[in-house]
């Protein structure tokens, strides 16, 4: 019996410079073949049948509904609803950009300045001290904004990056976000004490999908307070691939209500990563109230540039050295 899967193998040039993916029909004994073990020379193997498929070029279009102001009425309605649900009568004051529609102004980001927006990331469970050391060396060389690692590597990163402008970010309650709010806050406090300058924590998606809005708000309340008191940047990961448009709107509103610094698309460990559609919604909701971080699936320079030029402030990626020119 044969099984079908689609795997991204590498960014290679196809017709007219388009990128390409490979679709494989794999026999069971190679179905779990690791991505980095597949090479062009192995594509003739009798274990697989290969189809060369040109991908659709990525485009963060200015005609997306959020960029055109078409979501503003829905966003205002959700703000009014959550204001009542959360007993936050002045919630709308945090969204002045929604009082009248303004076209989204493209950011002036060049290839040479991408690195300043990159969180250079290593979150694999197999990460070693040697790999994290290389990550920090690359961050110094490319002058990335941060390195983003698991909390156990925070002290090592602080030591290796001492004297540089590269900041140390770590994930908290990653990748599921299911711990209690107070546990998240205690974890963040310990990470900060160990040297973390930025915290990327994960929303409890189930609370939002169950429409338990007060609990979803409280999910971030204590960790936001811990980070604010210590002057540490807080990013909340929404896992947008699991949410409807309305749920993305609600999550962003709850983030702004908690005065977080960033709303972030994805962990990179769920069913999908960032999409132009999700980022468009996030940008439309938060305006200038907080920033947007795009992560999950950003592997090339054109994709990173389009997200940044559309208004995102950070890119989380493990492909920073491929994206940024030296």
Is the four-CA dihedral 181, 183, 186, 191 of positive or negative sign? Answer: negative
Confidence of residue 58 (pLDDT cuts 50, 70, 90): low
Question: Which of 119, 151, 184, 200 is an active site residue?
Answer: 200
The average confidence (pLDDT) of the chain is: 86
- Report the pLDDT value the prediction gives residue 107, as an integer from 0 to 100: 86
Instruction: Name the active-site residue from 19, 184, 235, 264.
Output: 264
pLDDT at residue 108, rounded to an integer: 87
pLDDT at residue 50, rounded to an integer: 39
pTM beyond 0.85: no
Task: Tell me, yes or no, if 70 is annotated catalytic.
Answer: no
Query: Which residue, 161, 165, 237, is CA-closest to 195?
Result: 161
pLDDT of residue 27: 38
**Which domains does the chain carry?**
3-54 (no CATH), 72-323 (3.20.20.70)
For residues 297-312, average pLDDT:
96
Model pLDDT for residues 106-145, shown as the tens digit of each residue = 788 999 999 999 999 999 999 999 999 999 999 999 999 9
Pick from 300, 292, 247, 283: which is nearest to 265 by CA? 292
- In angstroms, what CA-CA distances link 196 with 31, 147, 148, 213, 263? 39, 10, 10, 29, 18
Between CA 178 and CA 180 the distance in angstroms is 7
Tell me which residue of 225, 143, 237 sits closest to 186, measured CA to CA: 225
What is the rounded CA–CA span in Å between residue 184 and residue 219? 8
93 given a catalytic annotation: no
Q: Tell me the mean pLDDT in the region 50-73.
A: 70
Better-predicted residue by pLDDT, 2 or 202: 202
- Residue 200 known to be catalytic: yes
Q: State the CB neighbour count (10 A cutoff) for residue 112.
A: 9
35 has pLDDT over 70: no
């Amino acid at each position: 019996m044969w099984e079908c899967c689609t795997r991204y193998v590498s960014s290679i040039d196809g017709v007219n410079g388009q990128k390409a993916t490979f679709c494989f029909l794999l026999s069971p004994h190679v179905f779990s073949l690791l991505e980095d073990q597949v090479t062009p020379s192995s594509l003739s193997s009798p274990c697989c049948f290969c189809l060369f498929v040109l991908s659709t070029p990525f485009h963060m279009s200015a005609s997306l509904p959020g960029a055109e102001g078409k979501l503003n009425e829905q966003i205002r309605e959700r703000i009014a609803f959550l204001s009542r649900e959360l007993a936050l009568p002045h919630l709308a004051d945090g969204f002045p950009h929604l009082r009248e529609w303004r076209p989204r102004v493209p950011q002036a980001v060049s290839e040479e300045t991408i690195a300043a927006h990159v969180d250079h990331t290593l979150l694999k469970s197999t990460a070693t001290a040697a790999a994290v050391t290389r990550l920090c060396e690359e961050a110094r060389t490319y002058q990335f904004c941060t390195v983003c690692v698991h909390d156990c590597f925070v002290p090592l990163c602080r030591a290796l990056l001492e004297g540089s402008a590269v900041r140390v970010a770590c994930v908290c309650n990653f990748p599921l976000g299911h711990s209690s709010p107070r546990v998240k806050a205690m974890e963040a406090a310990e990470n900060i004490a160990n040297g973390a300058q930025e915290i990327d924590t994960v929303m409890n998606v189930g609370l939002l999908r169950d429409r338990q809005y007060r609990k979803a708000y409280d999910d971030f309340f204590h960790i936001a307070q811990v980070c604010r008191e210590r002057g540490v940047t807080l990013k909340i990961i929404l896992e947008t691939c699991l949410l409807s448009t309305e749920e993305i709107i609600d999550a962003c509103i709850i983030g702004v209500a908690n005065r977080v610094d960033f709303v972030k698309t994805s962990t990179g460990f769920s069913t999908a990563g960032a999409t132009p559609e999700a980022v468009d919604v996030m940008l439309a909701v938060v305006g200038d109230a907080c920033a947007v971080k795009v992560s999950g699936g950003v592997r090339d320079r054109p994709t990173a540039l389009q997200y940044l030029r559309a208004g995102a402030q950070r890119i989380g990626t493990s492909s920073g050295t491929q994206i940024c020119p030296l």
